[in-house]
Chain A
């Protein structure tokens, strides 16, 4: 069963704008990760945030984690057409030692 639930399911923005994607989950986690998948390709790990962290940055990416609300957000600043992809949040729990992926968000960045 899916743990993470991304919101919105689809997002279309203009190049240069910021994109914000949200993920909610149900149970306690060890960490939360974000992955990107270009159409028909493999997934690429973007960033991992641990349960005791609140915010993390990596280049144009900023991820926040609110464990009290069981939610995370991924912000991509100054988006580019190359950011067009599906984005998945994935939660890791200690109970079963495996990642569970959310349904994904389709991001389209218009040139």
Chain B
């Protein structure tokens, strides 16, 4: 099983809403990532978890709150977002811990903030 599964596929939320994006992998990978991708742009790293501990936070605003409940799950909690936060949010995992090996991506969650 080489899948990274993300839910929901699409999410529309208002600026006062609280929602969560979920990511799951069963490849035994110990590093998991959140990326943000705007249209026609490359993915931008947001967070890295290594062995369920946050190892990299790329100065992401606090309205994005990551959580890694266990080695297979990664959540991104969203609160008080802005319309400019609308984007494709990609989860990825890797078997290596240095973060520079092959990444396995999910299909993404398309977020629209109204």
> Which residues of A does B touch, CB under 8 Å?
2, 30-31, 33, 35, 40-45, 48, 88, 92-94, 96-99, 101-104
Given the contacts A88-B42, A103-B42, A104-B42, A48 and B102 also touching, CB distance less than 8 Å = yes
B17-62 CB contacts (< 8 Å) to partner A? 40-45, 48, 55-56
Number of B residues near A (Cβ < 8 Å) is 27
Q: Classify the interface of chain A: helix, strand, loop or mixed.
A: loop
Q: Which residues of chain B are near A43, meaning CB under 8 Å? A: 43, 90, 92, 103, 105
- 14 residue pairs from A and B, CB less than 8 Å apart: A30-B100, A33-B102, A42-B6, A43-B103, A48-B101, A92-B98, A92-B99, A92-B101, A94-B98, A96-B56, A97-B55, A99-B45, A99-B100, A99-B103
Quick one: given A93-B100, A94-B98, A102-B42, are A40 and B110 in contact (CB under 8 Å)? yes
Give the Cβ gap from A4 to chain B, nearest Cβ, in Å: 9
Rounded to whole Å, the gap between the CB of B47 and the closest CB of chain A is 11
